[in-house]
Amino acid sequence: MSRCLAMLAFAALAVLVPLRAAHSTETVVIGSKNFTESVVLGEVARLAAKEHGVEVEHRRGLGGTRILWRALLGGDIDAYPEYTGTLVHELLHDVPPDAGIPLLRERLKQLGIGITASLGFNDTYAIGMREDEARRLHIRGISDLAGHPDLQLAFSNEFMNRADGWPGLKAAYHLPMGARGMDHDLAYRALASGAVDAIDLYSTDAEIAYYHLRVLKDDLHYFPRYEAVYLYRLDLEQRAPNFAAVLNRLEGSIDAQRMRAMNKAVKIDGKSETSVAANFLGVEAEPGSDGGFWPRMARYTAQHLALVGISLTLAIVLAVPLGVLAARRRRLGQIVIGLTGILQTVPSLALFVFMIPLFGIGAKPAIAALFLYSLLPIVRNTHAGLTGIQPSLLESAAALGLPPRVRLWRVELPLALRSILAGVKIAAVINVGTATLGALIGAGGYGQPILTGIRLDSIPLIMEGAVPAALLALVMQGVFELIERALTPRGLRLRAMS
């Protein structure tokens, strides 16, 4: 039995792992983080490269810094826009806080990573308040915040956690109040509605003018410099020398005002990143390639179904035998259920990120994460279904002289079937929801429009992902109820009725 399980686990891995190696070394891939400026800079690089005859694939709007950095180191992407401050404080741990680009270049070289010179603007963190509110409270600089401990602060989750973010700021300015984490784009709306009083922002954010915000003066020069640069794999210099040259040629070409204008064009005026980037470069934007609502929806649906379907199938293949094993060996069963339970407690985004070193970015790590999430409900319900069978029935089956394997297939699994199917149904419905996070690591699906919608502050875009995801969850529920009805032997349905 355990050898059988080991083989199944191996088979599951064997399906997923080679996909990582299959990534084509020929196409050049640029990534971008999940905010407008990063996506625009990604498009700028892609279109500039295209002008020089290099076809570049842009995987836009992947999750946060960690995801991009790992993908770059792992070779899943070849380049992405980054900021020097992030390198100094987050990614490289052995550089002085005042390190300039030459020192960073030297350090990155050891990792096989190249860095361009500054693109021409410093997108540093800043703290912003509504202009009218700031005037009323006479707050000009960050140090003035210390006198108003009842102010509600909301910061992006990344800012909340990074060393050069809120913890350091609070200490440097002796700020007495607490703060809570909030998505950056939602924070603007919260600020505008008065739900919070101050948020973190980037100095090139489009919303500063739109929402009439006051950027508080960094009196103590706490925030480090965040010069925008491109990071790229040094092996590009052999594989695609033109592309590396194109990236380097963009240095100094974008100042803060230009960047803010581009951000505004996308976020406020609703232009596409591609057209904004093309406009900046003075080139023709290629015609929109997503072919309208229905083809786009079909693509998201296909991607989402693939994520859910493959992960669920693999999970059933492994989890049902694990559940059987758990029911047979009590001690082992507790361990198995405990382990799958621990997997369930890993926050879903973290689990997705953990899969990147193993599977790169894209659908594979998402499938792996969803697979792990699906295990617990199925293992637990298989175990519960089998251990819940009346002992007298198990004994009758044994007393007939049926071998254990036949007892399992003809008696025990049919009697546990309802419980097993209920577990699969739970896993499927949870999976449909969790799979929307896959967009953060480039897996596509309904998460894609949700993510873009949050980024662009567009409710219709969010709905474009959220509504079909909810519908799909309902459909899954219905489908599994039909399957349950079809597979449950009539004798058991009768018992349930009586």
Partner 1 sequence: MPASLESSTKLPDSAFALVRATRAFGTTRAVDDVSLDFARGHTSTLIGTSGSGKSTLLRMLIGLEWPTAGEVRCDGEPLRREDVLEVRRRVGYVIQDGGLFPHLSVLGNLMLLPRHLGWKPSRIRERAGELAALAHIREELFGRFPTELSGGQRQRVALMRALMLDPPTLLLDEPLGALDPLVRHGLQDELREIFRSLGKTVIMVTHDLAEAAFFSDRLILMRRGRVLQDGSLEDFRRHPADPFVREFLAAQRTLPGAA
List interacting residues with partner 1 (CB under 8 A).
392-393, 395-403, 406, 410-411, 414-415, 489-492, 494-495, 498
Q: Which helix (H) or strand (E) holds 181?
A: strand 179-181
Start-end of H helices in 346-458: 348-354, 356-359, 363-387, 391-399, 404-407, 413-434, 447-456
Compute the Cα dihedral for 370, 460, 293, 40 and give only its sign.
Answer: negative
To partner 1, the closest distance from the beta carbon of 448 in angstroms equals 44
To partner 1, the closest distance from the beta carbon of 384 in angstroms equals 17
Cβ-contact 30, 58 below 8 angstroms: yes
To partner 1, the closest distance from the beta carbon of 23 in angstroms equals 48
* Helices 2-21, 363-387: crossing angle, 10 deg rounding: 170
Q: Give the nearer residue to partner 1 in terms of CB position, either 96 or 401.
A: 401
Place of tokens 């198995």: 336
To partner 1, the closest distance from the beta carbon of 336 in angstroms equals 26
Cβ-contact 451, 411 below 8 angstroms: no
To partner 1, the closest distance from the beta carbon of 393 in angstroms equals 6
To partner 1, the closest distance from the beta carbon of 392 in angstroms equals 5
Cβ-contact 300, 445 below 8 angstroms: yes
Q: Give the nearer residue to partner 1 in terms of CB position, either 21 or 497.
A: 497
Cβ-contact 420, 432 below 8 angstroms: no
Q: Which residues in 60-159 belong to E strands, given as ranges?
A: 79-83, 113-115, 125-130, 153-155
Picking from 292, 231, 192, 248, the residue whose alpha carbon sits closest to that of residue 84 is 231
Q: Give the nearer residue to partner 1 in terms of CB position, either 66 or 407.
A: 407
Compute the Cα dihedral for 128, 131, 136, 138 and give only its sign.
Answer: positive
To partner 1, the closest distance from the beta carbon of 420 in angstroms equals 13
To partner 1, the closest distance from the beta carbon of 4 in angstroms equals 21
To partner 1, the closest distance from the beta carbon of 411 in angstroms equals 6
Q: How many helices (H) and strands (E) does the chain have?
A: 25, 10
* Helices 413-434, 293-328: crossing angle, 10 deg rounding: 140
Q: Give the nearer residue to partner 1 in terms of CB position, either 415 or 430.
A: 415
Q: Give the nearer residue to partner 1 in terms of CB position, either 136 or 410.
A: 410
Residue 130 DSSP one-character state: E
Q: Give the nearer residue to partner 1 in terms of CB position, either 104 or 411.
A: 411
Gap between the Cα atoms of 260 and 252, Å rounded: 15
Q: Give the nearer residue to partner 1 in terms of CB position, either 399 or 486.
A: 399
Gap between the Cα atoms of 365 and 356, Å rounded: 6
To partner 1, the closest distance from the beta carbon of 480 in angstroms equals 19
Residue 206 DSSP one-character state: T
To partner 1, the closest distance from the beta carbon of 408 in angstroms equals 13
Q: Give the nearer residue to partner 1 in terms of CB position, either 57 or 484.
A: 484
Q: Give the nearer residue to partner 1 in terms of CB position, either 406 or 467.
A: 406
To partner 1, the closest distance from the beta carbon of 327 in angstroms equals 17
Q: Give the nearer residue to partner 1 in terms of CB position, either 117 or 402.
A: 402
Q: Give the nearer residue to partner 1 in terms of CB position, either 284 or 395.
A: 395
- Work out whether strand 56-59 and strand 28-31 pair parallel, antiparallel, or are unpaired: parallel
Place of tokens 């079937």: 417
Distances (CA, A) of 149 to 171, 198, 199, 216: 14, 12, 15, 16
- Work out whether strand 153-155 and strand 198-202 pair parallel, antiparallel, or are unpaired: parallel
Structure tokens at 264: 């505004």
Q: Give the nearer residue to partner 1 in terms of CB position, either 25 or 392.
A: 392
Cβ-contact 254, 105 below 8 angstroms: no
For residue 113, the SS3 value is strand
Picking from 47, 60, 119, 45, the residue whose alpha carbon sits closest to that of residue 283 is 47
